[in-house]
Chain A
């Protein structure tokens, strides 16, 4: 990660501005043309259901095709017209397009505002449910992580969380290395992983439809997007409520979630670490991995 601590605070804004203001990103017809082709392919294939057992089926939606094909196009050697420059523009443009997604969710929230008020307690308390990440700390210690584990398990490790951890421990601390690792891996596999996780959970877990909707607001726009897809498909006829809860819970994750991390999650993770590390800590593996 090349950002220094002062920049991390406005990581979204800086990235967007650097890529959007300086170049003429709309001019990159290779990028936008490719996206159009990916979208057309994805929509033409449509949603596919793969049955596993009698009641359980994995639903693969067009959004999975576009994300996987997008990554494949970048990595595939024969496709020379999608390179690092296109990826940079895509990353900057994406930060702007998050807005459209948020706007659509906000319109659904406005339409169902009475529901939001009635479900207020559930919406606010489920933010506290995100603290469950700390349960992964013992596993991280067991795998041989040291202070890195604090950065890794205090939250889902998206941009705002990275900023908080870097601010508290410094850019070159093991805690920051940990949160950067989660950030990068989450960027690459998080979206695809959460969409399969949600698809499976929808068939296995008998939870309230609204609970699934609220849980999809994990504090990352792309993971939120990937989690809503299967949820919408699983409960036809409830689109506007599901969108309303998903949007509002994502908004809460943004406004409130960060304070939960600062005041509850990080202190709690640190305390857990100090208590558990002498008991189950292994020899550090990070040195080995870095060489």
Chain B
């Protein structure tokens, strides 16, 4: 594979090629973890990861090549919802295979990359001091509890039974 040069018109092709290979590696690792942790059949979960990777690829591509300033997260969410929408011809197929990939298997692999990636911020982190750490921890807790308590109150007020 030749080195990529900035501004080369082939970049988009190589970009997609890189994305596909990365997603393939991610899928294989996830499927192995999914098999070890949950004993889901390997071929089924590979198809499931293929579907999820396809949605991701479409979203990431559209974010960069469509002339709208829309985040890939929105494209991906919309595709995922539409493909699984009850009554869509795709929904049965998508739901079956995607359900073979546990969310936690994806999260476990994803957070391994996060862990390695965040090592880079370690020195900056150490220089920040305990006061900032206290504030960060409280801010995260406040966000979580704020949302959880409001959601709980609204759910109770609207009479949603605690299943």
Contact = CB atoms under 8 A, between A and B. Distances in A.
Interface of A: 12-13, 16-17, 20-22, 24-27, 31-32, 34-36, 38-40, 42-44, 46, 61-63, 66-75, 82, 84, 86-88, 90-91, 93-94, 96-111, 113-114, 118-119, 121-123, 125-133, 135-136, 139-140, 143-145, 149, 152-153, 155-157, 181-182, 184-191, 193-194, 197-198, 201, 205, 207-212, 214-219, 221-223, 225-229, 232, 238-239, 241, 243, 247, 249, 251, 254-255, 285, 289
What are the 9 A-B residue pairs with the smallest beta carbon separation, nearest first? A70-B115, A106-B80, A132-B146, A74-B119, A110-B84, A99-B56, A129-B150, A215-B148, A91-B117
Interface of B: 1, 4, 6, 11, 14-15, 18-19, 21-27, 29-30, 32-33, 36-37, 49, 51-53, 55-57, 59-60, 63-64, 71-74, 76-86, 91, 94-95, 98, 101, 103-104, 106-122, 124-125, 128-129, 131-152, 154-156, 158, 160, 162-163
Contact of B135 (A103, A152, A214, A223): A152
Nearest to B132: A181
Contacts of A133: 139, 142-143, 146
Contacts of A93: 22, 26, 113
A94 to B, nearest CB: 4
Nearest to A207: B152
A40 B134 contact: no
Contact of A229 (B107, B116, B155): B107
A170 to B, nearest CB: 20
Contact of A70 (B19, B104, B114): B114
A10 to B, nearest CB: 9
B119 A106 contact: no
A44 B104 CA distance: 14
A58 to B, nearest CB: 16
Contact of A129 (B15, B83, B151): B151
Given A66-B115, A121-B158, A100 B53 contact: yes
B90 to A, nearest CB: 10
